[in-house]
């Protein structure tokens, strides 16, 4: 039994994990953003209230990246931990062993162990939502890579400047990571909205664009066509490089089964390994995959 957490800028979600299939959530609380002691105390209280033994392991999924060389975390939306050696600082404060992993990595791990990736040696977990990201699982273990950034296919100046049929010129948008031309800037939900406004001069939320597309709207069809063309190329290249045999997709855009089906068909046409089997598929774990991933990660650690 361990305590596990999924921590974002708005809430701390905790649970007690007894097995990968038995993870029992605790009441969530607002994330303390500006005081580290309060942040640590909140984690300790949730663990204690759930019945976790003193000194037992804490396993955390977080919307940030820990540099494996320095131990420092990049987590701009939680100022009190940004730039800290979070594992060391929390371990000292709580007097417990602590694991911290990126939330996309934990999503990928949860899908690999108890979700759509079961039975696959290499799983690439894809995030398409408020951001574009991913995580790589090899032989049941997270592959973090140098600096902890392995799997972050959404960043880098690789976005297409022409897309669709007939081709249309696509601006190279500035990305929140500081670069220009990232897939994240056009492939996330806000990116789809940006594309629709650029193509048609109409501002719509991504949910409305997808609903209109499903209803046969020609303008929405054009937006989705351009979107798929832009996103599928970098995703196909990533799958070529990683060698994944399955790529479960999480995030808000994955709620559209038809969108992911179309993305899968286009990606499979662009990868080197030809297969008739679905490759890019909706994730199985719709509820708290990051929390489940943190639980799986912690349970694997104590079973060593």
Q: Residue 270 — very low, low, confident or very high, per pLDDT cuts 50/70/90? A: very high
SS3 of the chain: CEEEEEECCCEEEEEEEEECCEEEECCCEECCCCCHHHHHHHHHHHHHHCCCCCCCCEEEEECCEECCCCCEEECCCCCCCCCCEHHHHHHHHHCCCEEEEEHHHHHHHHHHHHCCCCCCCEEEEEEECCCEEEEEEECCEEECCHHHCCCCCCCCCCCCCEECCCCEECCCCECCCCCECCCHHHHCHHHHHHHHHHHHCCCCCHHHHHHHHHCCCHHHHHHHHHHHHHHHHHHHHHHHHHCCCEEEEECHHHHCHHHHHHHHHHHHHHCCCCCCCCCEEECCCCCCHHHHHHHHHHHHHHCC
pLDDT at 76 (0 to 100): 87
pLDDT at 221 (0 to 100): 98
pLDDT at 69 (0 to 100): 87
pLDDT at 68 (0 to 100): 85
Tens digits of residue pLDDT in 244-255 = 999 999 999 999
Tens digits of residue pLDDT in 161-209 = 999 999 999 999 999 889 999 999 999 999 999 999 999 999 999 999 9
Average pLDDT in the chain = 95
pLDDT at 249 (0 to 100): 98
pLDDT of 146 above 90: no
Give the count of alpha carbons within 13 A of 196, CB side only: 23
Q: How confident is the model over 137-145, as a mean pLDDT? A: 95
Query: Under CATH, which architecture does the 2-105+287-302 domain have?
Result: 2-Layer Sandwich (3.30)
pLDDT at 44 (0 to 100): 96
pLDDT at 131 (0 to 100): 93
Q: 2-105+287-302 and 118-282: same fold?
A: yes
Query: Where in the chain are the domains?
Result: 2-105+287-302, 118-282
Q: How confident is the model over 132-152, as a mean pLDDT? A: 94
pLDDT at 285 (0 to 100): 93
pLDDT at 168 (0 to 100): 97
pLDDT at 148 (0 to 100): 87
Distance (Å, whole) CA 191 – CA 208: 14
Task: Say yes or no: domain 118-282 is CATH 3.10.180.10.
Answer: no
């Amino acid at each position: 039994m361990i305590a596990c957490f999924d921590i974002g800028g708005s809430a701390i979600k905790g649970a007690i994990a007894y097995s990968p299939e038995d993870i029992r959530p605790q009441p969530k609380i607002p994330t303390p953003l500006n005081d580290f002691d309060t942040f640590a105390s909140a984690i300790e209280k949730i663990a204690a209230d759930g019945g976790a033994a003193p000194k037992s392991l804490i396993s955390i999924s977080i919307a940030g990246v820990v540099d494996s060389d320095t131990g420092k975390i990049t987590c701009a939306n939680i100022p009190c931990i940004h730039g800290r050696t979070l594992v060391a600082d929390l371990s000292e404060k709580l007097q417990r062993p602590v694991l911290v992993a990126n939330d996309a990595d934990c999503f990928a791990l949860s899908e690999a162990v108890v979700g759509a990736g079961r039975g696959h040696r290499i799983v690439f977990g894809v995030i398409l939502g408020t951001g574009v990201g991913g995580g790589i699982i090899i032989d049941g273990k997270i592959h973090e890579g140098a600096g902890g950034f392995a799997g972050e296919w959404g960043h880098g100046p690789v976005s297409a400047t022409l897309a669709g049929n007939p081709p249309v010129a696509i601006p190279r948008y500035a990305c929140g990571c500081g670069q220009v031309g990232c897939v994240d800037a056009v492939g996330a939900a806000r990116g789809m909205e940006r594309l629709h406004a650029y193509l048609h001069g109409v501002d719509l939320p991504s949910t409305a664009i997808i609903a209109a597309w499903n209803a046969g709207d020609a303008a929405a069809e054009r937006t989705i066509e351009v979107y798929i063309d832009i996103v599928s190329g970098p995703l196909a290249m990533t799958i070529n490089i990683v060698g994944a045999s399955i790529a479960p997709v999480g995030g808000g855009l994955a709620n559209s089964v038809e969108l992911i089906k179309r993305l899968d068909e286009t990606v499979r046409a662009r990868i080197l390994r030809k297969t008739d089997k679905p490759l890019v598929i909706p994730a199985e774990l719709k509820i708290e995959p990051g929390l489940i991933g943190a639980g799986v990660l912690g349970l694997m650690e104590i079973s060593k």
